[in-house]
Amino acid sequence: MPELAPLYLTTPIFYANDEPHVGHTYTLVVADTLARFWRARGRRVFVVTGIDEHGDKNAQVAAKHGVTPRAWVDRMSVAWQETWRAVGLSYDHFVRTTAAAHATFVRKVLADLHARGDIYFDQYTGLYCYGCERFYQERELDGGVCPDHRKPPVEIAEENYFFRMEKYQPEILRRLDTHPELVMPDGYRREVLALLREPIGDLCISRPKSRLTWGIDLPFDDRYVTYVWFDALFSYVSALDIAGVPGLWTAAHHLIAKDILKPHAIYWPAMLMAAGMPLYRQLQVHGYWNLAGGKMSKSLGNIIRPRDVDARYGMDALRYYLLRDKSYAGDADFSEEGLVARLNADLANGLGNLASRVLAMQQRYFRGVLQRLAPESVDLALRDAFAQARRDIDAHVGDFAFHRALEALWRALDHANKYVTETAPFALAKDESKLPRVGAVLHELCEALRVTAQLVEPFMPATARKLATYLNFPESRLVELDLAWGSAFATGHETGTPDPLFPRVES
């Protein structure tokens, strides 16, 4: 097999003005799932997430709480990392934009760009949305208000530094033509192309300290701090320097939602081109988790915390729901009823029920000891169903169709549940002479559960570990995806006694 190229996966660095909600969790779940999926297939993956600590938003919320911005972001840094740890979402490096090494990196880029004439000083009047931390052009507004925050932007006039972004517009367009995979899915690429049909203007990259002191000082004028986006985007590169793996930059895949498409698809490539750095490989844009039709957001105050959902239903149920009930690119409404419906139907009835029936019969009839296989055609059809699931999952995850990947695995689980009904080991067991067949059927089903544990691991790691424990299959072997059916368990292998994987939730 050809060696797979390394993968550098990023989530946005989230504003540190509040704690994480389920929307942010979604992006991390996708990153964590992709990392587990590819690592099991031998690919090197490096995941970076973090928080965006400078800017108006953070300064304002700190003031509201009567603390310094520094004290506030220190507190948030703990809160975010603590949340991800508590719900089992892992990453390789956590960005804090207040890190000295990051500030040094940004100041160096700014100094270079200024020296090369890509940054100039000018007077500017524009419409500013504090929620987005950016200026808006009249035509980008929706009935005079910011399309995201539903508030009218504020008119601001001041002298500032500007980055000659427009100079890079033709080159960005050319890149999107020659590298259509740069922005995925294609619908978002077309949105970017539409934005690029009009002049994009230059980018205001400074804030006067008279208005905001919380930021990275400009290296060439200490009356100003750096605009938060110019600071934040470079964290994708500085993170790798800080983590000691700078070579991974050319493997960069950014996961973002559509709210920050423009900074990532236009500002960021222009900034990279100006800094003489290679572009990222791919921007993978997802849709929103809404609440009652409106976007879940800290500024709108309609949010659900991942730790609350975890405490109530378990993190794997949340992961399953987030990945199963929304296509990556599209939007979906988050609802507790929706989550409970999935939990009961797919997790408790579909997977949980299969595991508990199989392992209970295995105990009852054979005290857990696995019996010899003697495959008949129904057994071969069961094996085919799981082989097909594996192929479908690989194809769908490659396309970011996580909902389809899970659907494919559940097709195989449905097949397994029907197989139990058809082969009826519980009926056969009443006749002593049929016990060899009962043993063979249960062995097939234990293999089906083993393969399920392996295939489901990227999506629901805790469930995979539990299944492995119940089967008495070493967790470390969950990554052995190519293990032949029938060879996972040695002669005389004993399976364990399960607890219910997913207790049903009564609403």
Query: Does the protein bind ligand MSP through residue 98 (CB under 6 A)?
Result: no
Query: Does the protein bind ligand MSP through residue 340 (CB under 6 A)?
Result: no
x/- letters, 194..213, toward ligand MSP (CB under 6 A): --------------------
Query: Does the protein bind ligand MSP through residue 299 (CB under 6 A)?
Result: no
Closest of 353, 357, 352 to residue 320, by C-alpha = 352
- By beta-carbon proximity to ligand MSP, the closer residue of 26 and 280 is 26
Q: Which of these ranges, 10-18, 271-279, 306-314, 482-490, lies near ligand MSP under the rule CB under 6 A?
A: 10-18
Query: Does the protein bind ligand MSP through residue 370 (CB under 6 A)?
Result: no
- Known catalytic residue at 298: yes
Give least dist CB 206 to ligand MSP, A: 18
Give least dist CB 117 to ligand MSP, A: 25
x/- letters, 208..247, toward ligand MSP (CB under 6 A): ------------------------xx--------------
Query: Does the protein bind ligand MSP through residue 251 (CB under 6 A)?
Result: no
The two beta strands, 203-204 and 154-163, are antiparallel
Query: Does the protein bind ligand MSP through residue 38 (CB under 6 A)?
Result: no
Query: Does the protein bind ligand MSP through residue 13 (CB under 6 A)?
Result: yes
Q: Which residue is nearest to ligand MSP (CB)?
A: 23
Enclosing H/E stretch for 10: strand 7-15
* 94 phi/psi in degrees, rounded to 5: -115, 120
Of 12, 153, 219, 458, which one interacts with ligand MSP (CB under 6 A)? 12
Distance of alpha carbon 264 from alpha carbon 283, whole angstroms: 8
Which residues, listed in sequence order, are joined to residue 206 by a DSSP beta bridge?
226
> Helices (DSSP H) in 235-376: which residue ranges?
235-243, 261-262, 268-275, 306-313, 315-324, 336-342, 353-366
Does residue 246 sit in helix, strand or coil?
helix
Q: Are 140 and 147 in contact (CB under 8 A)?
A: yes
Catalytic residue, from 102, 132, 204, 403: name it: 132
Distance of alpha carbon 255 from alpha carbon 184, whole angstroms: 10
Distance of alpha carbon 482 from alpha carbon 92, whole angstroms: 27
- Known catalytic residue at 493: no
CB count in 10 Å sphere of residue 24: 26
Query: Amino acid letter at 71?
Result: A
Walk across the sheet containing 332-333 and list its strands: 294-295, 289-291, 332-333
Give least dist CB 171 to ligand MSP, A: 21
- By beta-carbon proximity to ligand MSP, the closer residue of 131 and 314 is 131
Closest of 31, 220, 210 to residue 111, by C-alpha = 220
- By beta-carbon proximity to ligand MSP, the closer residue of 336 and 475 is 336
Give least dist CB 17 to ligand MSP, A: 8
- Known catalytic residue at 179: no
Catalytic residue, from 114, 295, 403, 443: name it: 295
Catalytic residue, from 57, 102, 114, 146: name it: 146
Q: Are 473 and 324 in contact (CB under 8 A)?
A: no
Query: Does the protein bind ligand MSP through residue 49 (CB under 6 A)?
Result: no
Of 87, 252, 296, 451, which one interacts with ligand MSP (CB under 6 A)? 296
- By beta-carbon proximity to ligand MSP, the closer residue of 237 and 389 is 237
Closest of 323, 356, 316 to residue 463, by C-alpha = 316
- Known catalytic residue at 396: no
* 426 phi/psi in degrees, rounded to 5: -65, -30
CA separation (Å) from 215 to 44, 61, 98, 314, 357? 34, 15, 8, 38, 59
- Known catalytic residue at 129: yes
Q: Which of these ranges, 292-300, 414-422, 455-463, 468-476, lies near ligand MSP under the rule CB under 6 A?
A: 292-300
x/- letters, 254..273, toward ligand MSP (CB under 6 A): --xx-xx-------------
Using CB under 6 A as the binding criterion, the count of chain residues that bind ligand MSP stands at: 20
Query: Does the protein bind ligand MSP through residue 109 (CB under 6 A)?
Result: no
Q: Indicate if the alpha-carbon torsion angle 20, 23, 28, 32 is positive or negative.
A: positive
Which residues, listed in sequence order, are joined to residue 320 by a DSSP beta bridge?
none
Query: Does the protein bind ligand MSP through residue 52 (CB under 6 A)?
Result: yes
Give least dist CB 16 to ligand MSP, A: 8
Of 8, 9, 19, 27, which one interacts with ligand MSP (CB under 6 A)? 27
Give least dist CB 18 to ligand MSP, A: 8
CA separation (Å) from 342 to 316, 416, 453, 499? 12, 19, 19, 20
Instruction: DSSP letter for 301, please.
Output: T
- Known catalytic residue at 146: yes
The residues of the shown chain that bind ligand MSP, judged by CB under 6 A, are 12-15, 23-24, 26-27, 52, 232-233, 256-257, 259-260, 288-289, 295-297
Q: Which residues are catalytic?
A: 21, 24, 129, 132, 146, 149, 295, 298
